[in-house]
Amino acid sequence: MPLVGGDPRARIIAAGTRPIFGLAAETTRPLFRRSRIEEFMSSKIRNDGKARRRGFARRVAVVVGALVSVVAMAGVAQADQPAVMLGAGSLNTFDAMQEMDIIYNESAGCDLVVPPTTPQWTCVSPQPTSVVTTENYYHDVAASMFSQGTSAGLRMLCQGNDGTPGTTDIGYARSSTSPSSLPSICNVSDKLTYVGWAKDAIAIPKWLGGASEPVTSLSHSQIKEIFTDISGDGCAEDWGDFGGTPGEQILVHGVEPLTSSFGTFQTYLGGNANYCALETGGQLLPENDCTPINDLPAGDRGRSIWWVSYGKYATGATNCTDAATDLIGVNGVAPSAPSIQSSTYQYTNFLYNVYRRPVTGDPVLRWRIRSYIGEYPHGWLCRSNSMHIKPVGDPGLGVPHAGAERNYGLAIDKIIDDAGFVRINPLPDGDKCVSFNIN
């Protein structure tokens, strides 16, 4: 399908019916001092309208991260110039969103004014009829800030919305927990849209060669008893009562609070996920790193129980090796990509990007954020593969275009797969996301 020319805010794919963009009026709001950001970008970005190269995109992510401290500086976000979009929050999705940033930053967009012609860093007018509108039209810069956890990201998002002095006005929050874990600092004036772009799960590892090795599955109520003592008879539990080796007390470990892994598991348990770790002499550990348990004496390691992200476990990022650990099922269902995608595995959770709505107050930046991580069909991350461009001759779904350096729909899918996460939509095409509003 060819792309139709004209104003990108009204442009649609020929023979299609879904507008890609949609914001009529735009105003301005300080973000970066233009002279600083233009000076940084001027020697880096090509102006031929084609996708920018991976090496430069990686430099953009690094340098923009270093420029976070200048967010409070005076500046103007112009309607037809690149915007800088900052995401903060979850450690669990930090790596994957950095990869998304890279391919978004390098993707195709408008043909830019060539210096010394001014105004610089604006799209030439008129644009050629072949201009790409489905990717990064204005050549915006996306960057993922250092992770301080899901709760911290949501707090920054809400505090920025409330105008709290001294806060960083991030564009969106990375969240690995459901809205039931929304920080109390967020209030009814914080109108948020959650956009789920992948699925993950809480996985329960066991250490082989010890008391837990015979256990293949635990019921939800058994897991609640082990971690929260729902019976009230104390946290001292024998593995023999749960299918393991009799005479060996379960050594429960916990996760540092305020992390996404802690918040997600606590939501499923309905109580303090760290309660029995404190009672049994277990450790409170950084999320998703089995190393401290691996380093325990063999007897203590073999009677340990803990929880991690399935995606991190599947990729080996948790340091829980296949030779040393295995995963315990829940209610007879083992965690796997199919059981997580279908949600038959009970501890399945969505991974979200969260932005503020309505897209007013700072329409230039807010509209650009929505165009990147927003819901279908507005958000680049959520669009179906058939809406993205692809190289001419690429057999996959997409719109053939001479300016495409990759199939962007498949590139998004690959980042999700490589992170160990699970795609929301099992079909090869269609909406990649789910979304809903809070407040």
Q: Which residues pair with 407 in a beta bridge?
A: none
Q: Is the pLDDT of residue 252 over 60?
A: yes
For 370, the token pair is: 């929505």
What is the per-residue pLDDT across 38-67, written as a single tens digit (0 to 9) for each?
333 333 333 333 333 333 344 344 444 434
Which residues have a Cβ under 8 Å from the Cβ of 108 and sit 6 or more positions away? Answer: 49, 50, 51, 132, 135, 136, 389, 401, 403, 404, 405
Q: Is the pLDDT of residue 96 over 90?
A: yes
Whether 108 and 48 have beta carbons less than 8 Å apart is answered as no
What is the average per-residue pLDDT within 305-313? 97
| 122-131, 196-205, 226-235, range with the lowest pLDDT | 122-131
Q: Is the pLDDT of residue 12 over 90?
A: no
Give CA–CA dist 77/29, Å, rounded.
6
Q: Does the pTM of the predicted model rise above 0.85?
A: no
Which residues have a Cβ under 8 Å from the Cβ of 193 and sit 6 or more positions away? Answer: 354, 355, 356, 357, 374, 375, 435, 436, 437, 438
Looking at every residue in the chain, the average pLDDT score rounds to 82
Which residues have a Cβ under 8 Å from the Cβ of 363 and sit 6 or more positions away? Answer: 23, 25, 26, 27
> Cα dist. 96→30, 138, 200, 333, 345 in Å?
29, 23, 12, 27, 23
Give CA–CA dist 85/83, Å, rounded.
6
Instruction: Supply the pLDDT for residue 131.
Output: 93
Instruction: Supply the pLDDT for residue 320.
Output: 92
What is the per-residue pLDDT across 319-376, written as a single tens digit (0 to 9) for each?
998 779 999 999 999 999 999 999 999 999 999 999 988 655 567 778 899 999 999 9
Whether 36 and 42 have beta carbons less than 8 Å apart is answered as no
Q: Is the pLDDT of residue 303 over 60?
A: yes
Place of tokens 């409070």: 72
Rg (CA), the chain: 24
What is the average per-residue pLDDT within 210-229? 98
